[in-house]
Chain A
Amino acid sequence: MYVAVKGGERAIDNAHAWLAEERRGDLSVAELSVDQIKEQLKLAVNRVMAEGSLYDQDLAALAIKQARGDMIEAIFLIRAYRTTLPRFGNTNPIDTGAMECIRRISATFKDAPGGQVLGPTFDYTHRLLDFKLAADGEVLEAPVSAPRTEPTPRIADFLGREGLIQEEAESDDTPPDLTREPMELPGNRALRLQSLTRGDEGFVLGMAYSTQRGYARNHAFVGELRIGDVAVEMEIPELGFTIKIGEIEVTECETVNQFTGSKSEPPQFTRGYGLVMGQCERKSISMALVDRALRWRELGEDDMGAPAQDEEFVLYHSDNIQATGFLEHIKLPHYVDFQSELELVRKLRREAEANVAEAAE
């Protein structure tokens, strides 16, 4: 029997009014603007864009403000908004080789052409709280040098030239899109990469870390990590040609992992790939490690039974909106469900007590 229960409307309205007030906080403190979030909490904005799967800094900043800094709530808002947008088309694959790098490092080759460009990184900071930031916001201008003009070739290309690393098969196949068709497993690598790039940073990091600790060990080097802007091109049907429709910042990570080989093929390095919208370095490296772990089948490795090798486990649990939706729904009224459980346990107890009494007689 389904029992509709009304009521609580006033309580809900009042709760939302209070939420709005709490969001604003102490009125004697200046209100945070969406532009301030966009400019000064950029990495939070980037995470919301990557996991919300929609590149729009203004919307992500607004979502963070509305969600009071709750990142998953903000991502939820973006995912919900995303579904209201008509899709104008699919872009050509971005060319990360032509990226205007603000950061480019390699952990495998010190003297890589293009050099080691650190960019605006937290690496090498002392992780000591900087109380100057609490006092005033003055910053010195960053030093400049003559812009680099030399090309920044991919690290994998050097290894590829000697045949030392497995080559990526070229293809222009239409990839599956999990936002359009329900995910079907086993999936291919394209589906896995789409799922990982929008997956929860904490989850993907945890999975990646587990591979480093020995669950499906595949010792990874960061062959290359690059961050920068890339142009996005799309064919415009009414024009009949391709134009750039914008520019997005992305973080790309290529790992170089230990070898595979066979009777016919000499040993060569294998690779994992991470590509995330915005500046999301930790996520990008994590994605590359998990991508590599999930490739065990195609690389002829053994199933070690490790969680990071289990496509179904990883893909079905990496989406924080699906996860939080199911998790949080259990706090909503289940009065009727629970009533039946209650009746059942009472009945079982009555029967058990009767059995005990019977045995005693």
Chain B
Amino acid sequence: MVDQTARKDWMSLLAKAPAGVLAELWQGMEDAPEFTHLRAPEIGAAMVRGRMGGTGAPFNLGEMTVTRCSLQLGCGTVGHGYVQGRDKAHAERAALVDALMQTEAAAQTDMTLLQPLRAKMASARTARAAKAAATKVDFFTMARGED
């Protein structure tokens, strides 16, 4: 079986990517490739599960919206996109990127699209973590005048 780690990684990144950011980065790509839909963008839901006590048996927490799309490039490469939310254009773009990453255009796509996307999402994450860190309590003990 082929190692799918890299593909899992970019698909996961695309799923969580803000639609606006991906759309903007897509502008930087050279001419859009030709493709046909294998599955036109479709909005649906996934049932999210949690675990009792965080570690125990699973239970159903509630659903989240997901949009998926599958397509095939002119060269025959198939791409799948699964993204959070209900943006069909976003799902189609994610599928296109998935397909391109399996072709010779991979390096180019990675450089113009995935790397900046990853950096942008990481910096948003860091900014939040930095604000959270500033609210961490530093306990100190008051000196007691007993001696």
Q: Measuring CB to CB, which residues of chain A are less than 8 angstroms from any residue of chain B? A: 49-50, 53-56, 58-59, 82, 85-94, 96-97, 100-103, 110-111, 115-121, 142-148, 154, 156, 168-179, 189-191, 193-194, 197-198, 231-232, 234, 236, 238-239, 241-248, 250, 252, 254, 271, 273, 275, 277
- Contact across chains for A93 and B133 when beta carbons are under 8 A apart: no
Q: What residues of A have a CB within 8 angstroms of the CB of B144 in the complex?
A: none
Q: What residues of B have a CB within 8 angstroms of the CB of A143 in the complex?
A: 131, 134
Whether A145 contacts B68 in the complex (CB less than 8 A), given A85-B63, A244-B16, A273-B53, comes out as: no
Nearest chain B CB to A237 CB, angstrom units: 11
Q: What residues of A have a CB within 8 angstroms of the CB of B137 in the complex?
A: 115-118
Our pick among B42, B84, B132 for the contact of A86 (Cβ within 8 Å) is B42
Whether A147 contacts B130 in the complex (CB less than 8 A), given A190-B58, A243-B8, comes out as: yes
| Distance of A51 Cα from B90 Cα, bound (Å) | 27
- Contact across chains for B80 and A238 when beta carbons are under 8 A apart: yes
Q: Measuring CB to CB, which residues of chain B are less than 8 angstroms from any residue of chain A? A: 4, 8, 11-12, 15-16, 42-66, 68, 70, 80, 82-86, 125-137, 139
- Contact across chains for B59 and A175 when beta carbons are under 8 A apart: yes
| Distance of A243 Cα from B61 Cα, bound (Å) | 19
Candidate in B59, B136, B139 with the most chain A CB atoms within 10 angstroms: B59
A171 and chain B: residue at smallest CB distance? B57
- Contact across chains for A247 and B16 when beta carbons are under 8 A apart: yes
| Distance of A115 Cα from B51 Cα, bound (Å) | 24
Q: What residues of A have a CB within 8 angstroms of the CB of B43 in the complex?
A: 85
Chain A interface, >50% SS class: mixed
Our pick among B12, B51, B132 for the contact of A117 (Cβ within 8 Å) is B132
| Distance of A142 Cα from B132 Cα, bound (Å) | 10
Candidate in A59, A246, A273 with the most chain B CB atoms within 10 angstroms: A246
Nearest chain A CB to B66 CB, angstrom units: 6
| Distance of A144 Cα from B134 Cα, bound (Å) | 5
| Distance of A119 Cα from B133 Cα, bound (Å) | 8
Whether A90 contacts B65 in the complex (CB less than 8 A), given A168-B52, A239-B80, A246-B15, comes out as: no
| Distance of A156 Cα from B53 Cα, bound (Å) | 9
Q: What residues of B have a CB within 8 angstroms of the CB of A250 in the complex?
A: 50, 61
- Contact across chains for A170 and B57 when beta carbons are under 8 A apart: yes
